[in-house]
Structure 1
Amino acid sequence: MNPLIDRLRAYDPGGIRVRLAAQVVVTMTAAMAAEWLLVQARHDPVPVVALMLGAVVALCGVFAAPMFDTPRQQALNLALIPIPALGGIALGLALAPHQFWGFGAVIVVLTAGAYLRRFGPRGFFGGVFAFNGTFFGLFLYGVITLGSLGWVTVEVVLAVAVTVALQLTAFRIRNDRTLARLRRSFGARSRAVAAVALALTEAPAPRRRARLVRLLRRRTLAFNEAALMADAYLERPGALPAGASPGIVHQRLFDLELAVTNLARFAVTLADADLPPKLRELVREGLAAVGELDADRADAAGRLVLQELPDGPARIVAHRFGGCLRAVAEALYGLRGGLGRDEPEVEFVAAAELAGGFLPGSAGVSQTASEEPQIARRIGRSGLPPNVRIAGQMAVAATAALVLGYTVDHRRWYWAVVAAFVTFMGAHNAGEQLRKGSLRVIGTVAGVLIGALLAHAIGPHVYAALAVILAALFLGLYLMRSSYAWFVIAITIAVSQLYVELGEYSEDLLLLRLGETALGAAVALLTVLVVMPLRTGRVVRVATREYLTTLDGVVAATQQQLLGTGSDLRAAVRRLDAAYQALMATLSVLGVPLLPAPSARILFSNSLSASRNYARNLLTDAAGSVTLDAAQAEALGLAAGTLRASIEELITRLRGQEPGPYVRSASRFATLGAGLHLPETAPPVLALRDLQLIDGSLAVIAEQLGLTVAALDQAHT
């Protein structure tokens, strides 16, 4: 495997980023070429209008397409683009002579577009095209008139036709190909996890070890992301060959992801343990085999590890490590087999839905946080649907940005409005909006510098400028999910080249763009903090609460599994993964706003991560058969009931209500485990140990949230 290709696959799950970037560049180029042929045929004295319309329609159309699942839905919805776009252009042209009303139209269209988000992707992009159309009408007044709206309609329809044609041909949705690419990315990310774990076994220096541990955490989270994305595609028509079972493929992908992730965690512990040289070499051999996805070597190493178990504290971890190596081999054998064609069908429902091909991040928990009533200064305050909240914020921000931007410069005021507008695009709460606004300013600064250098280097050479614009857009879109600043840099470079070709370029103009952008972003950031704010701390509370609710479901399913009454523990754990991804997406914005001290934030995040790891262990550890007598079943019920009641107290605290104490349940699980009289490495004993560890990690979270943590005797139970 070529290391560079493997890294690119790991960076871009399913090739979705590179495909989007390529589609934008190809579609924009094709649309502008079609518009150029049109203006040449009609001898248009101002061809730049058609070229700009074609480029903008193509760009927005490509972004809109992934929001719809099937080619038919994409074609139908993209075909509707001319309605809001031309309506906006007509409105802008009609009101342009009356500046006050023209400005008012911009604000009304922006506000209405934000409100239309309640109708899903169609409403969202309808609002975007209506704003773009209104802006074009105002911006191009004098160059075009209402009388030339017929040709403008032809130009918009032509750009839409090119966009739809390419979407249905060269970039047609092929769920089977996307899933195949996702599986290759899944493999690349598994190898990336194994590589870091292997590096940790080399006894690195303390500072390097700390960096590797942080890197391992990021890579295992990314590995889980790829698994959830693959799960979502398994349900789509045509993703798997005829006769293949989505449920079986899901099980094997999940088993492989779980085993590799656990191997990496256990390797961190074993790296610090006092192991015999032979066992330490077997650990390294096993990780190397997993890094190459070599099932035979992994299985052989796992068997040997289980034969060489040490005495002492490392015995259980070494036993788990060997079992995980064999689980990796079993999952790989299964994935290379018949994909469940000759096996009984397994019910399967994906735990996460995708948005534009990716996990939705904090969108769901932000919506819940926005809609729920809040308690502010002991006065009840009703929640607001996200579209209503954003519409109100947009109205305030757009008005202030327009007024201030116009005060700075009568011609380029729109840069401030656009900066305010995009702050609300794809950002779901105040923290994300703050980050996006800040990155827009940072990206503009870098883009101004790079754009100025390229403008002087290239000069008025049309084809070279066009190549720079397309290359910048490709790289900006490809890197955008890593940081929005990359896309802003690309757009600023493109604007610089455009103004060179129009004969309007100057460093002062780029600095004006920077100033207007900073002004618009600052207005938007102030607005989201003051006007109907959805603060990140509140979203974190909701995300943590939903995570704990799914964790409670895992505990309940584990109890049923140990009692032999049947449960869908696998589905419960996968729902926990999806909730954890949403929680991490929220925490990634500004750390943990619940807790002011950095050390407390780290402890909070680590405890959440630990509770999830122990819960995922249950999927394997609770699978062993055990028969509990009536007294043991009652003891399990009491222990699980205590843990679940304590989880409920945490949830109560996160709802803003007064909780009772967090009562520890670990001693009950420990007593029950000792009474089973089974080896310490027997699956049921390990499952009870996992539940003890979950209780321990949640007790730390309870302390961080200000709950009283009480032992059983202190709670009088």
Structure 2
Amino acid sequence: MTNSVRPAIDRALRFLVVSDPGQLRLRSASQTTLTLVLALSVLVAMTRLLGEAITVAMLGSVVAMFSSFVVKDRTARGRLLTTALIALPAATAVTVSTFLAQHGVLADVGFVAVLFGAVWVRRFGPRGFALGMGSFIAYFFALFLRATPGQIPELIGSVLVGVACALTVRFAFQHEWAGAELTRLTRALRASSLAVVDLIAPTNVPGATPVGRHAEPASSDAVRHALERLANTALMIEDWLDRNVAAAHVSVTGKDLSRRIFDAQQATEQLAFAMRPRAGTARSVLAERPAVAQVLLAVRSVLRNHPTSDDLTVARRIVTRAEAAATDSDQHSIVIRAAARTVRAHIAVHRVTAHALATAEAHEPVTVLPTRTGTAPAPATDDTATDDSPVPPRHRGLRAQFDRLEPSTRTAIQVAIATSVATVLGELVSPNRWYWAVLSAFVVFTGTTTRGEILTRAGHRIVGTVGGVFAGVLLAAVVGNRAPVQLALIVVCVFCAFYLVTVANGLLVFFITVLLAMLYGLLGTFSIAVLELRIAETCVGATVGITAAYFILPTRTRETVRDKVDAYLDALGDVIDDSITSVVEPGSGVDLVPVARRLDTALQELQTAARPLGMGPASRARRGTARLVRVLEACDRAAHALVRAGMLAASADPASGPTGDLARAVVDGADGVRASVMSLRSVVRGEQGEYDDSLADASPVAQVLSRDAQELSTATIVAVRALDRLDHSAALTRVPV
């Protein structure tokens, strides 16, 4: 293999690992596709043997496919139980749909009722969501396939066989030991870390992994996105720790592994921060220094796909020697120390997870966090309600009643009204294909809570449908009436749709539309006019959904973002308090990783909520939202450093902490930074024009920074510098949301 081909393959493989940590999307798509293939094989054989119509096999196969995809319980036993339970609402929905289809308007009313119920039951958590979607899918496809009452026994039998196929494949996939999943996730952690290193270091350093950019430094946005992927991968490992007993698979406890993962993530972030260019200094110049280049090579050797024990030992020796020689406080010495810590942190993770123990206990998770079941937020009162404009007194009572509704109830009401209107408008467009409009009006509310998310989902659905129609027509012309090829394309479309659904919902819609074109051809009802109707009906349904979201019990995206900012700042305040307490009172042994992970989760939720604002038509809103997210991401990195200081102090000698005036200065400085950071609430809401910067020359933090470093413990130095970074990071915020 040539020198130019091998690096390209390595980059492609690493991209797949980084973009799909733990191969969870790949496994989910593979499971769904295999379920469909098994169900189709069994049901087509059965229908031919019994002389039934192919539509009977299609219904059971679709129920099997969605039974595989929509079940998201946290435990293996829970997923199997939910999959089995789907048979009941699906069989009931098929029966009701088939009977009501003979009575015109009653079928429409029944469809709206099923959609309302499918959304309302989401309050019962993942199981409620799965059972509701099972009833919706069965009702819809019974209408789509024009089932008759005489087919009800065969249709119910098809549903039962489809669910049995889904159970069989799910059990086979769950048989894999959880230790293998942990190994894949930690491999993704190393790949994400290596992606960060490749961005911050030039490619002309000998031995560096080529990334296709020569020696040009990466943009700050690219580094930020790479660090975000690294943080998301670390959170996925935390989720694994929530669902499994770590000691059953590795040689350490879950608490110890969680700490090692956090240390590896934070060390990589610190290396990226240390490598940022100073005024008049380029990263390439810094990295070309022999000592820096050597430690970066050691970092890369540790982060490779399959480092050997000798590789790890040599890397540790290299960074240990370099660190011993880096006694100055200039930037290249800081980079060497950060690289050394990165190597040690990733080696610590690799030692305990490279060969995760595959034991029988891994089949069933034991330690599981309670699943949220759609608990409603506290009722909004007049003095806590937030809006872009004041609420008139005569409307406050009604508004308060709406705010007290469960989120699932609010969405169910929106769905019921939107689908009712979509039914009427859809029948005006096409009396035979009206259900596409209803489907679109329903789907734009799936997995969304705010107006911005619904608008984004509707846009993706329209674009995906139009693109899918063009691709479907082209493929139909090429394939013709060759059933084996059509079935193969249906399987390919299913895999691509469910593999890419989390990347962009429009890709799911695109491949499902192509699938429908193949399905129409298989049923002998394909025509370009039918696909054109799908575009029209989709546009009608999406428009109705957007209108309902904006005018019927709306949940404003800006309000949601402000609430997420409040939650993030609350978590940040806890990090500051707990970390500084540990620094001032060392030796406490307190575990600060959980509070850091709560902060990361809050940031992730904020990023998700703010995404629709980042795509809005107003350029000022886009810039303001992007700036806010960048600022809080910078605060997150500084908070990680603060947590590290608290972790260092937690295991230190109780006598090593600051005392007297120094301790009071650290506490006062932390209080000042905390108060200043909390002022971000007012800045974000537009109540305050500027961030309250506490770091004047005479501030307590500045006083501590001015002291002789020999007076301070390592934990104290790290903590004060982190507070300094946190305050300056937050000070970048100037734009309200």
Q: Under a length normalisation based on structure 1, what TM-score does the superposition of the two structures give?
A: 0.86
Map residues 276-355 of structure 1 onto 2, 5 A cutoff.
Answer: 277-282=289-294, 284-292=296-304, 294-307=311-324, 309=326, 314=331, 317-318=334-335, 320-328=337-345, 331-332=348-349, 334-335=351-352
Task: Give the aligned partner of residue 663 of structure 2.
Answer: 633
- CA distance in 2 between counterparts of 1:598 and 1:205 reads 30
Task: Give the aligned partner of residue 597 of structure 2.
Answer: 574
Deviation readout 1:7-34 (Å, 9 max, x if unpaired): 3222211111111111111111111222
**Partner residue of 2:62 out of 42, 56, 63:** 56
Task: Give the aligned partner of residue 148 of structure 2.
Answer: 144
4-13 or 393-402, larger mean C-alpha shift:
4-13
**1:539 deviation in Å?**
1.6
Deviation readout 1:455-498 (Å, 9 max, x if unpaired): 01110011010001101211221122111122111111111111
| 3-state SS of 2:732 partner | helix
- CA distance in 2 between counterparts of 1:330 and 1:156 reads 50
- Check the 8 A contact 1:248/1:339 in 2, yes or no: no
**Partner residue of 1:248 out of 256, 261, 269:** 256
| 3-state SS of 2:555 partner | coil
Deviation readout 1:318-351 (Å, 9 max, x if unpaired): 36524534543652564369999xxxxxxxx99x
**Partner residue of 1:115 out of 120, 128, 140:** 120
- Check the 8 A contact 1:175/1:236 in 2, yes or no: no
**Partner residue of 1:498 out of 509, 516, 519:** 519
- CA distance in 2 between counterparts of 1:242 and 1:308 reads 35
- Check the 8 A contact 1:245/1:339 in 2, yes or no: no
**1:398 deviation in Å?**
0.6
Q: Among the aligned pairs, what percent are the same residue?
A: 27
For residues 318 and 92 of structure 1, do their structure 2 counterparts lie closer, same or farther at Cα, with a shift above 3 Å needed? Answer: closer
**1:406 deviation in Å?**
0.7
- CA distance in 1 between counterparts of 2:31 and 2:731 reads 49
- CA distance in 1 between counterparts of 2:184 and 2:276 reads 30
| 3-state SS of 1:664 partner | coil
- CA distance in 1 between counterparts of 2:165 and 2:289 reads 65
**Partner residue of 2:28 out of 20, 24, 29:** 20
For residues 185 and 311 of structure 1, do their structure 2 counterparts lie closer, same or farther at Cα, with a shift above 3 Å needed? Answer: closer
- CA distance in 2 between counterparts of 1:80 and 1:330 reads 45
**1:438 deviation in Å?**
0.8
Residue 417 of structure 2 corresponds to residue 396 of structure 1: yes
For residues 424 and 371 of structure 1, do their structure 2 counterparts lie closer, same or farther at Cα, with a shift above 3 Å needed? Answer: farther
**1:633 deviation in Å?**
2.1
**Partner residue of 2:236 out of 229, 246, 250:** 229
- CA distance in 1 between counterparts of 2:518 and 2:346 reads 54
- CA distance in 2 between counterparts of 1:659 and 1:331 reads 46
For residues 12 and 326 of structure 1, do their structure 2 counterparts lie closer, same or farther at Cα, with a shift above 3 Å needed? Answer: closer
Map residues 333-482 of structure 1 onto 2, 5 A cutoff.
Answer: 334-335=351-352, 374-376=385-387, 377-379=389-391, 380=396, 381-382=399-400, 383=403, 384-482=405-503
Residue identity opposite 2:470 in structure 1: L
For residues 103 and 249 of structure 1, do their structure 2 counterparts lie closer, same or farther at Cα, with a shift above 3 Å needed? Answer: same
Task: Give the aligned partner of residue 48 of structure 2.
Answer: 40
- Check the 8 A contact 1:194/1:291 in 2, yes or no: no
For residues 367 and 105 of structure 1, do their structure 2 counterparts lie closer, same or farther at Cα, with a shift above 3 Å needed? Answer: same
Residue 590 of structure 2 corresponds to residue 585 of structure 1: no
For residues 192 and 403 of structure 1, do their structure 2 counterparts lie closer, same or farther at Cα, with a shift above 3 Å needed? Answer: same
- CA distance in 1 between counterparts of 2:212 and 2:44 reads 61
For residues 80 and 656 of structure 1, do their structure 2 counterparts lie closer, same or farther at Cα, with a shift above 3 Å needed? Answer: farther
Task: Give the aligned partner of residue 728 of structure 2.
Answer: 696
- Check the 8 A contact 1:371/1:386 in 2, yes or no: no
- Check the 8 A contact 2:118/2:135 in 1, yes or no: yes
- CA distance in 1 between counterparts of 2:60 and 2:259 reads 46
**1:569 deviation in Å?**
2.6
Task: Give the aligned partner of residue 189 of structure 2.
Answer: 186
| 3-state SS of 1:662 partner | coil
Residue identity opposite 1:607 in structure 2: V
Task: Give the aligned partner of residue 360 of structure 2.
Answer: none
32-41 or 599-608, larger mean C-alpha shift:
599-608
For residues 683 and 289 of structure 1, do their structure 2 counterparts lie closer, same or farther at Cα, with a shift above 3 Å needed? Answer: farther
- CA distance in 2 between counterparts of 1:643 and 1:393 reads 43
Give the length in aligned residue pairs.
684
- CA distance in 2 between counterparts of 1:434 and 1:468 reads 31
For residues 37 and 140 of structure 1, do their structure 2 counterparts lie closer, same or farther at Cα, with a shift above 3 Å needed? Answer: same
For residues 24 and 639 of structure 1, do their structure 2 counterparts lie closer, same or farther at Cα, with a shift above 3 Å needed? Answer: same
**Partner residue of 1:218 out of 225, 228, 232:** 225
Unaligned runs of 5+ residues in structure 2 are 1-5, 358-365
Task: Give the aligned partner of residue 156 of structure 1.
Answer: 159
- Check the 8 A contact 1:249/1:339 in 2, yes or no: no
For residues 528 and 674 of structure 1, do their structure 2 counterparts lie closer, same or farther at Cα, with a shift above 3 Å needed? Answer: same
- Check the 8 A contact 1:91/1:137 in 2, yes or no: no
308-317 or 98-107, larger mean C-alpha shift:
308-317
For residues 308 and 264 of structure 1, do their structure 2 counterparts lie closer, same or farther at Cα, with a shift above 3 Å needed? Answer: same
- CA distance in 2 between counterparts of 1:369 and 1:330 reads 45
- Check the 8 A contact 1:89/1:133 in 2, yes or no: yes
- CA distance in 1 between counterparts of 2:40 and 2:144 reads 19
- CA distance in 2 between counterparts of 1:503 and 1:333 reads 56
Task: Give the aligned partner of residue 632 of structure 2.
Answer: 608
Deviation readout 1:395-452 (Å, 9 max, x if unpaired): 1211121111110111011111111111111223222222111111111111111111
Residue identity opposite 1:604 in structure 2: L
- CA distance in 2 between counterparts of 1:71 and 1:561 reads 38
- CA distance in 2 between counterparts of 1:603 and 1:285 reads 34
- CA distance in 2 between counterparts of 1:309 and 1:618 reads 23
**Partner residue of 1:196 out of 186, 195, 199:** 199
- CA distance in 1 between counterparts of 2:369 and 2:619 reads 30
| 3-state SS of 2:117 partner | helix
- CA distance in 2 between counterparts of 1:187 and 1:378 reads 50
Residue identity opposite 1:82 in structure 2: A
- Check the 8 A contact 2:118/2:133 in 1, yes or no: yes
Task: Give the aligned partner of residue 83 of structure 2.
Answer: 78
- Check the 8 A contact 1:116/1:123 in 2, yes or no: yes
Unaligned runs of 5+ residues in structure 1 are 341-348, 707-717
Residue identity opposite 2:301 in structure 1: A
- Check the 8 A contact 2:100/2:106 in 1, yes or no: yes
- Check the 8 A contact 1:290/1:328 in 2, yes or no: no
275-284 or 424-433, larger mean C-alpha shift:
275-284
For residues 386 and 493 of structure 1, do their structure 2 counterparts lie closer, same or farther at Cα, with a shift above 3 Å needed? Answer: same
For residues 101 and 597 of structure 1, do their structure 2 counterparts lie closer, same or farther at Cα, with a shift above 3 Å needed? Answer: closer
For residues 494 and 369 of structure 1, do their structure 2 counterparts lie closer, same or farther at Cα, with a shift above 3 Å needed? Answer: farther
For residues 255 and 450 of structure 1, do their structure 2 counterparts lie closer, same or farther at Cα, with a shift above 3 Å needed? Answer: same
Task: Give the aligned partner of residue 363 of structure 2.
Answer: none
299-308 or 522-531, larger mean C-alpha shift:
299-308
384-393 or 206-215, larger mean C-alpha shift:
206-215
- Check the 8 A contact 1:416/1:516 in 2, yes or no: yes
| 3-state SS of 1:427 partner | coil
**1:694 deviation in Å?**
0.8
- Check the 8 A contact 1:650/1:659 in 2, yes or no: no
- CA distance in 2 between counterparts of 1:221 and 1:548 reads 18
**1:669 deviation in Å?**
0.9
- CA distance in 2 between counterparts of 1:595 and 1:636 reads 41
